[in-house]
Structure 1
């Protein structure tokens, strides 16, 4: 009887921890997503965020880590996370975009990346859905609850 209790407790702990853990979204660069689209066409989910804005942090923690949201994104989209004020070089639509005014020593807000301007980002966080040809199909701006984001993605 004592052994059975231990086994049940072990199983409960294993399966309980599995169901609690949210599946991480499989993030990639925009270039990687566009390359994958050529082999296996599906839309791109692109989160445009900043490091300093609390709404972006809340969206990451409360919405994107929701198991239903992360599962839907992983199954149906290539996921791209793009820092709107970062210093990466991004090749999109035959153009190389960067952030020539990026200041690595700056705390908080930085200059906008050229891709941010090209996409006409109006606020953070912004979600862009790029169709199977890499064209912007839809966008939404501002914090979304898991329910709101799921409605938008479906």
Structure 2
């Protein structure tokens, strides 16, 4: 009996370590751009707000999925960016801030950050993909489940999006895509 309990505890411990190891390694945009200089990788940016319900669901249900976390950590620099926050971002020799930020509204609707405006983010959540040189590839709006996000993670990481010049080509890719991530 004691052996079963010990094995059970070991299994729980190993599972806990595995789950902890599957967190996305979030960095700031400035850090991601600096990391790209040493080791080029694409950037995956989660543009969220503190008050956004779908943003919280995306974080809980999708970004904490072990398959998503492992894939993002391997192939991207991951950036979590508060679209109504008070951080400063330097991008393409421009500095962006939020001059109208109101600290008393930190957990409510606040002023839009200049960088989110620059990226033309109009809805939350939005995930923005950047290439290895820090250029914007594409934004993807809305809450996505792990297998839905997998399609975009893989199409941008593999550069398959460059082969798609029409909506029909994307639709064909979408129909033939076989997700591997567990829900």
TM over 0.5: yes
Written as runs of structure 1 = structure 2, the 5 A alignment for 1:18-57 is 18-21=17-20, 23-57=22-56
Q: CA deviation at 1:22?
A: 6.4
Q: CA deviation at 1:19?
A: 4.7
Q: Paired residue for 2:137?
A: 137
The SS at the match of 1:127 is: strand
Q: Paired residue for 1:150?
A: 150
Q: CA deviation at 1:6?
A: 4.4
Question: Quick check: 1:22–1:66 contact (8 Å CA) kept in 2?
Answer: no
Identify if the C-alpha distance between structure 1 residues 108 and 39 changes in structure 2 by more than 3 Å, giving closer, same or farther.
same
Q: Structure 1 length as normaliser, TM-score?
A: 0.92
User: Are positions 1:101 and 2:100 aligned together?
Assistant: yes
CA-atom RMSD in angstroms: 1.6
Q: Structure 2 length as normaliser, TM-score?
A: 0.78
Paired with 1:78 and 1:115, the residues of 2 have a C-alpha distance of 18
Paired with 2:58 and 2:146, the residues of 1 have a C-alpha distance of 9
What whole-Å deviation, never above 9, does each CA across 1:44-80 have from its counterpart, x for those lacking one? 0001000001010111101111110011000100010
Identify if the C-alpha distance between structure 1 residues 151 and 22 changes in structure 2 by more than 3 Å, giving closer, same or farther.
farther
Written as runs of structure 1 = structure 2, the 5 A alignment for 1:54-133 is 54-106=53-105, 107-133=107-133
Task: Name the structure where helix makes up a greater proportion of residues.
Answer: 2
Q: Which residues of structure 1 form unaligned runs of 5+?
A: none
Identify if the C-alpha distance between structure 1 residues 88 and 20 changes in structure 2 by more than 3 Å, giving closer, same or farther.
closer
Work out which structure has the larger RCO, using CA pairs closer than 8 Å and 6 or more positions apart in sequence: 1
How many aligned residue pairs are there? Answer: 153
Q: Which residues of structure 2 form unaligned runs of 5+?
A: 155-183
